[in-house]
Amino acid sequence: MAVTQAKLITDVTRIIQDSSYDVSEQLTFLNQAMQEVAGHPSILLPDLEAEDDVTTSITNPYTALPTNYQKNLFYVYNSTLYWEVAIRASLGDLLRRYQRQDQSGTITGVAVKGRFLHYQRIASEAETLELHYFRKPHDMATYAASTITFAATAGTIADSANGFGDFHVGQVIDVTGSVSNNSYFTINTATSALLTVDETVVDESSGSEFTLKSRPDGIPEHLRKPLLVNHVCASIFSEIEEGVEGKKINTAYHQAQFQSAMGQLLGFIGPEGRAPIGIADELGLESYL
Mean pLDDT of the chain: 92
Of the candidates 171, 168, 163, the one whose C-alpha atom is nearest the C-alpha of residue 146 is 163
Q: What pLDDT was estimated at residue 1?
A: 76
**In sequence order, what DSSP letters do the residues of 192-223 get, joined into one string?**
SSEEEESS----B-SSS-EEEEEPPSSS-GGG
Q: What pLDDT was estimated at residue 194?
A: 98
pLDDT digits (tens, 9 = 90+) for 155-205: 999 999 999 999 999 999 999 999 999 999 999 999 999 999 999 999 999
In sign, the C-alpha dihedral spanning 91, 97, 102, 104 is negative
Residues 221-239 have a mean pLDDT of 97
Residues 122-132 have a mean pLDDT of 95
Q: Could you give the CA distance from residue 27 to residue 57 in angstroms, rounded to a whole number? A: 39
Q: Which residues of 89-124 are buried (b: 16+ CB within 10 A; e: fewer)?
A: eebeebbeebeeeeeeebbbbbbbeeeebbbbbbbe
Q: Which residues of 20-42 are buried (b: 16+ CB within 10 A; e: fewer)?
A: ebeeeebbebbbebbeebbeeee
Domain 141-214 has CATH 3.40.50: no
Lowest-confidence region among 143-152, 160-169, 242-251? 242-251
Residues 9-15 have a mean pLDDT of 97
Work out the pLDDT band at 284, boundaries 50, 70, 90.
Answer: very low
| Domain boundaries of the chain, sorted by first residue | 1-45+217-269, 48-136, 141-214
pLDDT digits (tens, 9 = 90+) for 17-58: 999 999 999 999 999 999 999 999 999 999 999 999 999 999
Q: What pLDDT was estimated at residue 244?
A: 65
Q: What pLDDT was estimated at residue 274?
A: 52
DSSP state of 48: G
Q: What pLDDT was estimated at residue 245?
A: 67
Q: Could you give the CA distance from residue 278 to residue 289 in angstroms, rounded to a whole number? A: 14
Global confidence as pTM: 0.88
